[in-house]
């Protein structure tokens, strides 16, 4: 398997999600605007999503909260928007679950 670099300049995935006028683009922008994100988030700049699975109930993922904060700080270049999402790990398989 060989790596083929993308043509440059390329259209960013965040531009495809938020930059158009289709129904899906309007929905994606609307969901984020509803959460208080500013209009300039959708002006074509890169959007970086940081997914995190830390939880107070699952100590094995406790370090991921600090790691996500470091990633957020490192990706804070001018012209880059960062969105953080917490994805809770289901405690069903962990010993802290009450039976």
Q: Using one digit for the tens of pLDDT, what is the confidence trace for 56-75?
A: 776 777 788 888 788 778 77
Q: How many other CB atoms are found less than 10 A from the CB of residue 94?
A: 14
Instruction: Categorize the per-residue pLDDT at 96 as very low, low, confident or very high, splitting at 50, 70 and 90.
Output: low
- Alpha helices (runs of H) in the chain, residue ranges in sequence order: 13-18, 23-34, 63-74
Q: Using one digit for the tens of pLDDT, what is the confidence trace for 15-43?
A: 888 888 999 999 989 988 998 888 888 88
Residue 42, Cβ density class (10 Å: 0-12 exposed, 13-18 middle, ≥19 buried): buried
- Evaluate the omega torsion of the peptide bond into residue 9 and state whether it is cis, within 30 degrees of 0: yes
pTM value? 0.55
């Amino acid at each position: 398997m060989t790596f083929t670099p993308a043509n440059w300049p390329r259209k960013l995935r965040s531009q495809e999600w938020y930059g158009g006028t289709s129904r899906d683009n309007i929905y994606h922008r609307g969901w984020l605007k509803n959460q208080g994100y500013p209009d300039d988030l959708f002006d074509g700049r890169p959007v970086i999503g940081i997914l995190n699975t830390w939880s107070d109930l699952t100590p094995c993922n406790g370090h991921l909260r600090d790691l996500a904060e470091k990633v957020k700080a490192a990706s804070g270049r001018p012209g880059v928007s960062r969105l953080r999402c917490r994805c809770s790990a289901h405690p069903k398989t962990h010993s802290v679950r009450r039976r």
